[in-house]
């Protein structure tokens, strides 16, 4: 008898983040790796980044249009099939039941095996920076949507009763920006693809050369120069 697992492959990925450019900056390497493996990628952005400018002449609608276009262009660099904008107000995101319902609807609709989002427990970074409250809010809402809401039929009963969306069980979650990683992903082979995607966010990058330099110099300190490696670290949860 064969001992090979009969478990189906993890073929569909959903990256759920607060702002345009979050997928690329937080997990561009992981998502590029998944794309190279032939997995189907979907992006969900809770906001359209309508506060992300220091230009006093900029309007919220112009910024929404700009940043959504930039995100779609960045997604194409990583072969993302679907990009969904929920258009919640930037800077005001909260892990409400309404947001959880919207995310549950999308999880049931697209049925991802893997979900990638922010670690909601990260209030600050080791570098001294403060984590954006929208990042914490989306992480908390996503985790609640993944479990138990998307999985259990009688949560938001209207989703299956009225919209025909059957429950769905996500099998793996990757939490980005975590202070407690348990997985290190080697992104050396896709680093340039990640950089290319990041650079589509023109409105958010003031010094292109400095950004590219930082990305290319950000080698994992666990490896010496002879074995230079670029990595991204996550808290990975396997759901049973």
Model confidence over 189-238: pLDDT tens digits?
A: 999 999 999 999 999 999 999 999 999 998 887 766 556 699 999 999 99
If DSSP codes are grouped into helix, strand and coil, which group holds residue 71? Answer: helix
pTM: 0.94
pLDDT, residue 240, reads: 86
Q: Characterize 23-53 residue by residue with b for buried, 16 or more Cβ atoms within 10 angstroms of its Cβ, and e for exposed.
A: bbbbbbbbbbbbbeeebbbbbbbbbbbbebb
d(C-alpha 66, C-alpha 73), whole Å? 11
Confidence of residue 127 (pLDDT cuts 50, 70, 90): confident
d(C-alpha 118, C-alpha 48), whole Å? 17
d(C-alpha 151, C-alpha 102), whole Å? 14
CB-count exposure of residue 72 (10 Å: 0-12, 13-18, 19+) = middle
Average of pLDDT values for 77-102? Answer: 97
pLDDT, residue 194, reads: 97
pLDDT, residue 237, reads: 98
| Average predicted confidence (pLDDT) for the chain | 94
Confidence of residue 2 (pLDDT cuts 50, 70, 90): very low
Model confidence over 138-192: pLDDT tens digits?
A: 999 999 999 999 999 999 999 999 999 999 999 999 999 999 999 999 999 999 9
Domains of the chain: 12-238 (3.40.50.10320)
Given a cut of 50, is residue 24 above it in pLDDT?
yes
Percent of the chain with pLDDT over 70: 95
d(C-alpha 71, C-alpha 73), whole Å? 5
pLDDT, residue 220, reads: 86
Given a cut of 50, is residue 1 above it in pLDDT?
no
Given a cut of 90, is residue 5 above it in pLDDT?
no
Which run of H or E residues covers position 43? strand 40-47
pLDDT, residue 226, reads: 57
Q: Alpha helix (H) ranges present in the chain?
A: 22-36, 60-77, 97-110, 133-144, 158-161, 191-198, 208-217
pLDDT, residue 89, reads: 97
């Amino acid at each position: 008898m064969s001992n090979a697992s009969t478990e189906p492959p993890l073929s569909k990925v959903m990256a759920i983040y607060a702002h345009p450019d979050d997928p690329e900056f937080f997990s561009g390497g992981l998502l590029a790796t998944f794309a190279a493996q032939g997995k189907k990628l979907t992006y969900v952005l809770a906001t359209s980044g309508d506060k992300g400018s220091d230009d006093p002449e900029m309007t919220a609608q112009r910024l929404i249009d700009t940043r959504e276009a930039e995100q779609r262009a960045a997604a194409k660099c990583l072969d993302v099939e679907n990009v969904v904008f929920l258009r919640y107000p930037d800077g005001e995101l909260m892990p409400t039941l309404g947001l959880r319902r919207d995310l549950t609807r999308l999880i049931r609709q697209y049925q991802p095996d893997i979900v990638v989002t922010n670690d909601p427990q990260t209030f600050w970074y080791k570098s001294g920076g403060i984590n954006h409250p929208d990042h914490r809010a989306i992480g908390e809402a996503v985790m609640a949507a993944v479990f138990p809401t998307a999985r259990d039929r009688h949560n938001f009963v209207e989703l299956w009763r009225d919209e025909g969306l059957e429950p769905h069980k996500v099998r793996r979650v990757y939490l980005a920006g975590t202070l407690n990683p348990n997985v290190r992903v080697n992104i050396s082979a896709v680093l340039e693809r990640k950089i290319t995607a990041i650079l589509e966010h023109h409105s958010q990058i003031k010094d292109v050369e400095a950004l590219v330099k930082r990305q290319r110099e950000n080698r994992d300190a666990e490896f010496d120069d002879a074995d230079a490696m670029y990595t991204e670290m996550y808290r990975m949860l396997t759901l049973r």
